[in-house]
Structure 1
Amino acid sequence: MNVPLVLPQFLDRALSLYGKKKAIFCDDRVFTYEELNDRVNRLSHGLKEAGIKKGDRIAYLAPNTVEMLEGFYGVFQLGAVMVPLNIRLKPEDYLFILNHSESKLLFVDEELFQLIAPIQEQLTTVEQIIVHYKHDLTEAIGYDEWLASQIESPYSRENLDEDDVCSLLYTSGTTGNPKGVMLTHRNNYLHALSTMHHLRVSDDDVLLHVLPMFHVNGWGSPFYYTANGASQICLRKASPEAIFAALEQHNVSIMHMAPTVLNSLLQYYEKNVPEIKQDVRVVIAGSAPPPAFVTRVEKELGWEFIQVYGMTESSPLSTISTIRSHLKDLPLKEQYRMKAKAGYSMIGSEVRVINEYGEAVKHDGKEIGEVVTRSHGVMKGYWKNEQATMEAIQNGWLHTGDMATVDPYGNIDIVDRKKDVIISGGENISSIEVEGVLYEHPGVLEAAVIAVPHEKWGETPHAYVVIKQNSQISESDLVSFSREKLAHFKAITGVTFVSELPKTASGKIQKVHLRNEYWESHGKSGRFVN
C-alpha cells in the first residue's frame, strides 16, 4: 500500500525522534516538539469545533511566531488550506484576498489587526477572527484563551491525499489583483526532500526564521526543518540588531533572506563587528546579488553563501549555486561570481533557458532567453483563474517571466525580469548587471536601475540610489563610475537619490513603484505600470 506524501508526517517524525528536544524559541517562550504537537492538536480540535471542514480556507496574518508555525500543521490535519497573508499589504488588498479565497476563519496578530479593522464589515465569508497576543482588543477572541479551552488529545485526521491543495499563496500583483497559487501536499513534500538535501539540513541545525513564513511558507522551512528535528527561532522583526543577537544567543547555523536584508547585515557588521564563532550558512534568493556581496559574506563574515532561485508557482526553489566538486579548482574570484548566479537545477527540477522559438539558448553567457521549469513543485494552478494558469503553464512547462543566460558550465544567470530588461539602441541591458557595478562604489548603500525614455536610444538605464551615511556622491560621479566599469551603452544616464527604496515584506525591491514614481515626477502618469 502506498503511503501518501502529506505534510503532517513531518511533525510526526519530529515528535517521534525529537519529542523532548527544546526546539521552538519564540520571544521568551520555549517549546519542545511534544509541546508544539499538543498545541497543534488543540488548534485542530478548535478548528473542527468552529465548523471547519476539509478544503476550507484558513487565513493567517502574522509575523514569524510559534502561532504561525503551528498553524500549518493544525490546519493540515483537517485537510483544510492555509492562506498565509503578506503583512505589508493595504486593507483593500486583504479585502480582495480574503473574499477571493473564500476564507472562513482569520487568525491575525494584534499588531496587525488595524489592517483588518477597516474592512472587517465587508468580509463576505470570514465567520470568525481570532487574535494572537490579544491585549487591548476587548471585543475580539484571544488566541491563548481560545487555544487553552480546546482538548489536547491526538486529533483524528481527515483522510488526506497528496494531491490535495494545502496552501493558497497570493502573489503580489503589479497590475490588477494578486493571483492565488495552489500548492499541494505533494508539491511541498517533494520540494522539502530536495531542498533539505541541497542545503544539508540536519538535526544539528538551528534555523533563524528571517524570511517571513507567509513568503512561500518561508521557502518551506516549516516543513523540512521540522522533519529533521532542527531547532527553530521565530523572529518577529528582522532587524540587523535582532538577527545578530539571535545568532549569538541561539548559536544559529542557517538563515534564509533576501539580498537587501543581507546588505543591511553587512552594513551593521562594518560598524559593530559582532563575534560569531559558529559556522553559518546564509541562503539568498530574490534578485541576483552583486558578486561583491558573496566575497564580503565569505571573507568578512566567514559565512557560507548559497544562492537559490525559484518562485511561488514552483513551491518555490528550482536551482542552487553551490560550487560542484569538479569546479573547485577554478580561481576564487570566478567561484564567487558563480555563487552569485541562480546556478543549476535541484534534484527533481528540470530548468531550461529558451529563446522565442522554444529552443535552448547557447551556453555562452551571452544569449538571453526565458527561464522555464517543470518539476514536482510546479503548482496545481491559480485559484479561480484558469486563463492565467494556461498562460503560465504551457506544454507542462512553467514560464517564469525571468530572463537569463547560461554559462559554459551550465549555470543559469538571471539578468532580469522580462519587463525589467532595458533595450537601448537595440541592445539588451540587464538592470541587475548595472546594479552590481553601482554596488562596487564605496558610497552606495542600495541601488535599483530602471529603463527611462531617451530621444536617441529609445531607453537608457536610470539609477535610484541610497547613499551610505556620511558619504557624498553626485549624479555625475556615479554616471562616470558606471562608464568606467561598463560598456558605454550600459552605463546609467541619470540618478535619483532617495532615502530608501520600496520593498516587499521579504526585502525584494519593487521596481514597479520606481517606474511609476519616475513617470509621475515627469508628468506622464502610468507609462510603466505593468
Structure 2
Amino acid sequence: MTQGATTDVWTTPLTPLAFLGRSAEVFAESTAIVHGDRRYTYAEFAAEATRVANALAASGVEPGDRVAYLLPNVPEMLVAHFAVPLAGAVLVAINTRLSTEEVRYILDHSAATVLVVDAVLYETVRPVADELATVREIVTVVDPAAPGDGVGSGLGYADLLARGSDAPRPWAVDDERATITINYTSGTTGHPKGVEYHHRGAYLNSFGEIVHSGHSADSVYLWTLPMFHCNGWCTPWAVTAVGGTHVCLREVRGDTIWRLIGEHGVTHLNGAPTVVTTIMNAPEAVPLDYQLVITTAGAPPSPTTILQMERMGFRIVHVYGLTETYGPYAVNQYQHAWDDLDGEERARLQARQGVGMVCADRVRVVDEQMADVPRDGATMGEIVMRGNNVMKGYHRDEEKTAEAFRGGWFHSGDLGVVHPDGYVELRDRAKDVVISGGENISTVEVEQAIVSHDAVLEAAVVGVPDEKWGEVCKGFAVLSAGRSAEPQELIDHVKTTIARYKAPKYVEIVDELPKTSTGKVQKFELREKEWAGRGNSRIQG
C-alpha cells in the first residue's frame, strides 16, 4: 500500500462479531457455554450462530430489520447476540418482566418482524399474538431446564434451525456505525424509549468490560445479570472475545448461584447490589478460597456490603452508566494507595461512581451553563457524557434525541459531585426515578396506575428503603370524597395494569399531599420522612 492510500483501505470497521469468528478458531474446542446438561464448544457456538443467521435470512429477514427476543439467560439468547447482527439485522432484547401491553408496545414501536420467545414466557405474548403490527412469525424456544411445562405456539426453535444452512458468513460489517441492537428503557417518562447501539460502541465497550472486570480465557462467567439489560453490559461479546466460559442462569436464586459456583469455579458475575445481597445472605454462602469478581451497578453498594463481600472472598468492581451508555461508562478505578486505609474508609471510596472507563471519554458534572462544577465534593451538577460509548440516539424519536444531546453532550439526568481526586459521586436521581433491584421504575407511571383506580383522586410515589431491593416504591393516595379503598386493594389493582415488579410494596392512604403554592407535589417531603435516619443521599437536594 502507498502512503497516499485512503483511510478506508487502512482500517477495518469495528464489530463484536469478529470476537466469535476469532474465538471459534483460537478456542475451537474450549467450552463456550454451559447450561444444565448442555455444553457448547466455541466451534459449536459459532456454527449455531451461523445457522440461525442463515435461517433468519431464509425467513425473509432483511438487513436492518429488527428481530426481537423475549428470553431469559439461556444459550439461545447468547447465540442471538451474534446471529441476529450476523444476518445484518438488529437485535431487540425485551425485558422478561414486562406486561403484555408493554411487550406489545416495544414490538410495534421497533417494527420487529420476527419474535423469538421462551415457551414459559409465551403466556405474556399469547393475548396479543395475532394483533402485532409487524411481527410476521413467532418462534418458540423450549428450555429443557425450564420449570413447568411451558408450551408456546407457532414455529419451534428446531424448525427455525432447520431452515438455515452452515454456509459461512463473514464476521464483519461494512459500516461500524450501523445499529447492532435496540434496548428499550424502562419508560421513566411514559413510553419506553428505544436506545440504539452501534457496532463500534459495542466493540469498544466490550474491551472496557474485559479490562476493568479482568476477563481472560480462564474466566468462568455466571449470568446473574439479565442479557436484556443493556445487552448484559456488553458481556456476551466481552467474555466471548477472550474465550471465557458462559454459565447460563435462568433464574437468580441464592442456592442455584452457590451450586454453580461450586460446580464450575465461577470467577466473575455481574449484577445490581440486590444480587450481591442475595448471594451474601443465602444459607449456602461460604467463604471462598479464591477471589470471585463481582461487577455491580444500579445503585452504589454500601461500604458495609463491600467489606462483607471482601471477607467472603469477593472483589467488588463498582461501575456506573445507563442504558444510553451501553451499560457501564464509568468505573471506580481502584488505587493501590487505598490498601493502606482502614477497611471502612477504603470501602467508602469504593462506593463512588469514579471515572470514565478506559474505552470512554471523561465523565463531566456540569451546571446549567454546561460549565464543570468545582472539584470540592459538595457542588452538585448533572452528569453528562459523550463519545464512542454513548448511544446513536432514540429509535424513531428525533425530538427526545435532540433534547438528550443538548449542548453536544448526553444528559444523564443524574446529579452528582466531583471530588478533588476527580472521582464522581452520584448524589440523586433526577425525575424521582426509583431504582429497585437495578431496575429503573418511573414514579409517574406507577402514580398513573394508582389513580386509574376509581376510588383514587390523586397519588404520589417515592422510593423507600428496602433491605433486599435497595429501595421499593411506596404510594401515597388521596381518595375521592365518599369513596373507600384498602392499601392492598390499590396494590393489587396496579399489578393488573403494569408490570408486577413496578407495583408499590406499600400504599398509605392520606388526607392530602404536600404541595407548593403552585400545586406541585413536594415528593421531597414524602421521601425525607421515609429515609430519615438512614443517611441515604436520596433525601438530599
TM-score (norm 1): 0.80
Counterpart pick for 2:264 among 243, 250, 254: 250
RMSD: 3.0
Q: How far 1:156 sits from its partner (Å)? A: 5.4
Does the CA-based 8 Å contact 1:79-1:158 persist in structure 2? Answer: no
Change in Cα spacing, 1:412 to 1:232, as seen in structure 2 (3 Å) is: same
The residue type paired with residue 219 of structure 1 is W
Secondary structure of the residue aligned to 2:385 is: strand
Does the CA-based 8 Å contact 1:23-1:31 persist in structure 2? Answer: yes
Q: What CA distance in whole angstroms lies between the structure 2 residues aligned with 1:338 and 1:467?
A: 22
Secondary structure of the residue aligned to 1:121 is: coil
> Which position in structure 1 is the counterpart of 2:517?
none
Q: Does 1:227 align with 2:241?
A: yes
Q: What CA distance in whole angstroms lies between the structure 1 residues aligned with 2:260 and 2:34?
A: 10
> Which position in structure 2 is the counterpart of 1:76?
85
Does the CA-based 8 Å contact 1:338-1:411 persist in structure 2? Answer: no
Q: Does 1:165 align with 2:176?
A: no
> Which position in structure 2 is the counterpart of 1:306?
317
> Which position in structure 1 is the counterpart of 2:15?
6
Q: How far 1:332 sits from its partner (Å)? A: 3.1
Does the CA-based 8 Å contact 2:17-2:172 persist in structure 1? Answer: no
Secondary structure of the residue aligned to 2:363 is: strand
Counterpart pick for 1:106 among 99, 105, 115: 115
Does the CA-based 8 Å contact 2:307-2:343 persist in structure 1? Answer: no
Q: What CA distance in whole angstroms lies between the structure 2 residues aligned with 1:137 and 1:152?
A: 28
> Which position in structure 2 is the counterpart of 1:389?
401
Q: What CA distance in whole angstroms lies between the structure 1 residues aligned with 2:330 and 2:266?
A: 24
Q: How does 1:262-301 map to 2 (within 5 A)?
A: 262-268=276-282, 271-299=283-311, 301=312
**What does the per-residue CA deviation read over 1:366-405, in whole Å, with 9 as the maximum and x for residues that have no partner?**
1111111112111110001011001111232111011111
Q: Does 1:398 align with 2:410?
A: yes
**What does the per-residue CA deviation read over 1:89-136, in whole Å, with 9 as the maximum and x for residues that have no partner?**
110011111011000000000010000001112201000000001776
Q: How far 1:418 sits from its partner (Å)? A: 1.4
Counterpart pick for 2:55 among 46, 67, 73: 46
Change in Cα spacing, 1:15 to 1:326, as seen in structure 2 (3 Å) is: same
Q: What CA distance in whole angstroms lies between the structure 1 residues aligned with 2:241 and 2:258?
A: 26
Does the CA-based 8 Å contact 2:71-2:117 persist in structure 1? Answer: yes
**What does the per-residue CA deviation read over 1:207-250, in whole Å, with 9 as the maximum and x for residues that have no partner?**
00110011001000111110000011010001111111111111
Q: What CA distance in whole angstroms lies between the structure 2 residues aligned with 1:36 and 1:381?
A: 31
Counterpart pick for 2:65 among 31, 56, 68: 56
Secondary structure of the residue aligned to 2:112 is: coil
Q: What CA distance in whole angstroms lies between the structure 2 residues aligned with 1:528 and 1:177?
A: 24
Unaligned segments of structure 1, at least 5 residues = 422-430, 436-447, 451-460, 469-495, 501-508
Counterpart pick for 1:203 among 208, 217, 222: 217
Change in Cα spacing, 1:198 to 1:233, as seen in structure 2 (3 Å) is: same
Q: Does 1:321 align with 2:332?
A: yes
Instruction: Please identify runs of 4+ aligned residues in structure 1 that moved more than 4 A.
Output: 156-159, 465-468, 512-515, 517-529
Change in Cα spacing, 1:19 to 1:522, as seen in structure 2 (3 Å) is: farther
Q: Does 1:192 align with 2:206?
A: yes
Q: How far 1:325 sits from its partner (Å)? A: 3.1
Does the CA-based 8 Å contact 1:38-1:153 persist in structure 2? Answer: no
**What does the per-residue CA deviation read over 1:453-512, in whole Å, with 9 as the maximum and x for residues that have no partner?**
xxxxxxxx98745579xxxxxxxxxxxxxxxxxxxxxxxxxxx99xx9xxxxxxxx98x8
Secondary structure of the residue aligned to 1:395 is: helix
Q: How far 1:288 sits from its partner (Å)? A: 1.5
Secondary structure of the residue aligned to 2:306 is: helix
Percent identity over the alignment? 33
Change in Cα spacing, 1:419 to 1:69, as seen in structure 2 (3 Å) is: same
Does the CA-based 8 Å contact 2:185-2:192 persist in structure 1? Answer: yes
Q: How far 1:272 sits from its partner (Å)? A: 3.6
Secondary structure of the residue aligned to 2:121 is: helix
Change in Cα spacing, 1:136 to 1:232, as seen in structure 2 (3 Å) is: closer
Q: What CA distance in whole angstroms lies between the structure 2 residues aligned with 1:394 and 1:405?
A: 21
Q: How far 1:62 sits from its partner (Å)? A: 0.2
Q: How does 1:116-515 map to 2 (within 5 A)?
A: 116-133=125-142, 137=151, 139-155=153-169, 159-268=173-282, 271-299=283-311, 301-347=312-358, 348-420=360-432, 464-466=464-466, 514=504
The residue type paired with residue 4 of structure 1 is P
